[in-house]
Structure 1
Amino acid sequence: MTTLPAPNPWTRRAVVATIMVAGVLLGLGLLLFTVWTYIDPVAAGVEPIPQERAYALFLVQVVTGVAGIVLTPFALRHSAAEADPLGTASGPRSALICGLLVIALGMFSPLGVPLAVVVLVSHCSRRSIAWPVAAVVTYVVGAFVAELLGVDGDPGFAWGYLALSLVIPVIALLIGMIRRRRRENRQRVLAQARMTEAESAAREDRARIAERTRIARDMHDSLSHRLSLIAMHAGALEYRAETDPEDVRESAATIRESAHAAAADLRAVLSVLREEQENTAPRLDLEELAAEARRAGTPVDITWEAPLSPADHSRAPTLIAHTLYRIVQEGLTNARKHAPGAPVRVTVSPARRAVVLRVSNPGPADPAVGMPPGGTEARVPGSGLGLVGLDERVRLVGGTLEVRPAGPGHDEHIITATLPWETGDRRA
């Protein structure tokens, strides 16, 4: 399962820092151009102003510009609640106040104008309608007051400047709407991805719990079977006083072996939770499973590599025997679902204190095999949880499971399991 990466706060800070640097550099360029118009108005093509007024305007522009620069990072802040695609949060109230101050101060200083426009676009992209309305009104009123006071050095109205002051908020509103929609779409996609990830994790957990429960039921049935053998042989010894010593020794050996196996089963069953009991045979036979699959139309070949034989499966620890059975059962089920009619090969080979089970099936040898009368391939969709349960079962017994689906370069679907298995007189 793929885990979604957490958002990196340093990425957001890097973006804000880049905007700040670019805005300050552009503002300095505008401020230098304004100073040049004060120094050489003839070359700049503007009306000259008194030197004292030029000094005062320069001081106001520097102070208001620096104040806007300082407040800009606070105006661009967002809150964590904005990440909720169903929420209505637009950001902290302090960001709104600082943003309105940056916009108002930027109208009085060329140094703060670029960052004021950036904050205007940011506020126009917020969810609440109050943010863009307040930002646009502040921008227009600020521009009107600045032009009325002659902050640019030319008292009176410049209708071209006022027209530009109306066009910029309209453009900012359009850009803000686009940014808001893109951000909301991105947040919605991320929320859906997180929900899908959570649902997938929940399904896997349920599959593991179900597999643990099934293991516990299997072990419960096996334990009951062994205890019944102990009770039967012990009862025979109790009520048959005149018993042949050889029969007594055989019964005692059976009781001892059954008690030892029952203790091992009890230790295993205590590790998982048992719920309702279902009808499960105390011992499950691989050959019978293969015969049933052959009757259903799936060619199955089981190979026991020496020194192993089918009889070893019946003598294996109950948990190992059931796990082998479930792996083969899942392999046959997958073959019927995804490759109807394809032959399935099952190989049981020995290893040091372990047994290796390999279930493989290539593509269908005959496309007509496994199809209904209409001629359409009878494939059954799967949930993908069977292998999750197998992995949990194999892990619980101390083994490993490897699944290699068919793909480019290999046309076989292979399930390989290595399980611990050690018997008294033969080790696999």
Structure 2
Amino acid sequence: MAPRNLEADEREETRAGESSRRDLVVDVICVVAAFALPLGFWIALALGHDVAQKPLQRIDLVLATLAAPLVWWRRRWPMTMSIVVSVIASVSTLAAVPQAITLITVAIRCRPRLVVAATAVFVVTGSIFSVVQPNPTLPLWAAVLAVVLIAGILVAWGSFIKARRALVDSLRDRARRAEDEQSLRIEQARQLERTRIAREMHDVLAHRISLLSLHAGALEFRPDAPPDEIAKAAGVIRTSAHQALQELRDVIGVLRAPNGGEADRDRPQPTLGDVPALVTEARRAGATIDLDVRVDDPAAVPAVIGRTTYRIVQEGLTNARKHARGAAVRVTVSGDQGDGLTVEVRNWLPLRAETSQIPGAGTGIIGLGERVGLAGGHLEHGPSTAGDFRLKAWLPWTT
């Protein structure tokens, strides 16, 4: 797997920062909730209200006040804080809120066996409280049953939060992996396209350089040749060198894969003149294609531009067969020297067009854009305002 890009790392850091801030807010709210009851009693006592007349009630208030701040450390030591607060709650009514908060935290952050242990402590201490401070209107068995039900509700709530967080984390992880894999596929598609271009350019440059070597060798071995033959050979050398340099400029920056493509070197490279044959072949397969080539001299089109034009038409016809099988296609090639060459492939989308079952990876257009960019042009693709799909490229055609 390729290393993740900076954008993904920044998004991850942003999510981590947001999570930390959210946890801090939740911690503050929990501590405030835990302090709410004992703080109210302390305020009432300060105002002169005797709300804690019995010694046991004063002990209850003091223990609840000591239990409230323990909520702050419940994330670091969830099991310990839950047991300590539950023990305090066995003799303190006002400690019920921090006891519930710590049990929910255990259900969220701990393994099932620890959750069962914390729940058992909760039930036992709650039962002890029912014995220490019995409710005169409620039998002991009913009070214990109520404690069990409350513990079950709290654990269920914490388990739900835990499952939801796990689901969200799983979806985020899957989305991140899909994004990384898509970036990797795009990069691989670009590299493969650069490799294919490098192979094609090797054929062209090898041809140009072999011509240079041939004519330079003739001049070397026949220095006494007639002046017109020497001038002719020098002109061929100059033209071939100029064309070779032009081809080389088009392929600067393209990396060629090692030990690859030896079998493709003998394959003839397509040109603009091969486009009609490509369309004819597609028509034989059943496609309805309207071809319009408005170029005065197709042979004058540079090899790189002609080859790129061929690939654009090829990709457009392939996409039409994949995504709009049976739909009519119109191919237009127009331009001249100085203005550049415009290539456009449109496929109409009838209401009941037969679609192909051929899967597409979505990297053909990416590779084509890389090829057009290296040729010095630009590529456009997508639905047009007329309701059809358009693949359009402009390629430079200098004099």
TM-score interval, normalised by the smaller of the two chains:
0.7 to 0.9
Tell me which of 11, 25, 42 is aligned to 1:17: 25
Task: Tell me which residue corresponds to 1:72.
Answer: 71
Cα distance in 1 for residues equivalent to 2:108 and 2:239? 76
Cα distance change, pair 270–144 in 1 and its aligned pair in 2 (3 A): same
Residue 296 of structure 1 aligns to a residue in which SS? helix
- 1:312 paired with 2:300, answer yes
Residue 139 of structure 1 aligns to a residue in which SS? helix
Task: Tell me which residue corresponds to 1:385.
Answer: 363
Could you tell me how far 1:281 is from its partner in structure 2?
A: 5.2
Task: Tell me which residue corresponds to 1:293.
Answer: 279
Cα distance in 2 for residues equivalent to 1:416 and 1:236? 46
Greater displacement, 177-186 / 206-215: 177-186
Q: Give TM-score, length-normalised by structure 2.
A: 0.78
Structure (1/2) with the larger helix percentage:
2
CA contact (8 A) 1:220 1:269 kept: no
Tell me which of 191, 207, 210 is aligned to 1:225: 207
Could you tell me how far 1:255 is from its partner in structure 2?
A: 0.5
Cα distance change, pair 106–269 in 1 and its aligned pair in 2 (3 A): farther
Task: Tell me which residue corresponds to 2:195.
Answer: 213
Could you tell me how far 1:212 is from its partner in structure 2?
A: 0.8
- 1:414 paired with 2:390, answer yes
Could you tell me how far 1:153 is from its partner in structure 2?
A: 11
Q: Deviations over 1:7-57 (max 9, x none)?
A: 35335633662574377347625774799899678xxxxxxx855554444
Could you tell me how far 1:330 is from its partner in structure 2?
A: 1.0
Cα distance in 2 for residues equivalent to 1:327 and 1:31? 76
Cα distance change, pair 398–326 in 1 and its aligned pair in 2 (3 A): same
CA contact (8 A) 1:35 1:58 kept: no
Cα distance in 2 for residues equivalent to 1:114 and 1:254? 94
Task: Tell me which residue corresponds to 2:349.
Answer: 363
Q: Letter of the aligned partner of 1:60 in structure 2?
A: L
Greater displacement, 358-367 / 135-144: 358-367
Q: Deviations over 1:338-391 (max 9, x none)?
A: 234522222334697754433322236996xxxxxxxx7656332211111112
Greater displacement, 22-31 / 97-106: 22-31
Residue 332 of structure 2 aligns to a residue in which SS? strand
Cα distance in 2 for residues equivalent to 1:383 and 1:61? 63
Residue 234 of structure 2 aligns to a residue in which SS? helix
Tell me which of 114, 128, 136 is aligned to 2:111: 128
Unaligned regions of 5+ residues in structure 2, if any?
Answer: 1-6
Cα distance in 2 for residues equivalent to 1:389 and 1:166? 64
CA contact (8 A) 1:355 1:419 kept: yes
- 1:324 paired with 2:306, answer no
Q: Give TM-score, length-normalised by structure 1.
A: 0.73
Unaligned regions of 5+ residues in structure 1, if any?
Answer: 42-48, 78-91, 368-375, 424-428
Task: Tell me which residue corresponds to 2:329.
Answer: 343
Cα distance in 1 for residues equivalent to 2:236 and 2:378? 33
Task: Tell me which residue corresponds to 2:217.
Answer: 235
- 1:396 paired with 2:374, answer yes
Cα distance change, pair 218–333 in 1 and its aligned pair in 2 (3 A): same
Cα distance change, pair 353–286 in 1 and its aligned pair in 2 (3 A): closer
Cα distance in 1 for residues equivalent to 2:325 and 2:333? 20
Cα distance in 1 for residues equivalent to 2:350 and 2:315? 18
Task: Tell me which residue corresponds to 2:150.
Answer: 168
CA contact (8 A) 1:339 1:379 kept: no
Could you tell me how far 1:210 is from its partner in structure 2?
A: 0.7
What is the aligned-residue identity percentage? 30
Residue 417 of structure 1 aligns to a residue in which SS? strand
Aligned positions of 1:85-104 closer than 5 A = 94-104=77-87
Cα distance in 2 for residues equivalent to 1:339 and 1:415? 14
Cα distance in 1 for residues equivalent to 2:268 and 2:236? 17
CA contact (8 A) 2:63 2:92 kept: yes
- 1:115 paired with 2:98, answer yes
The CA RMSD measured in Å over matched residues stands at 3.9
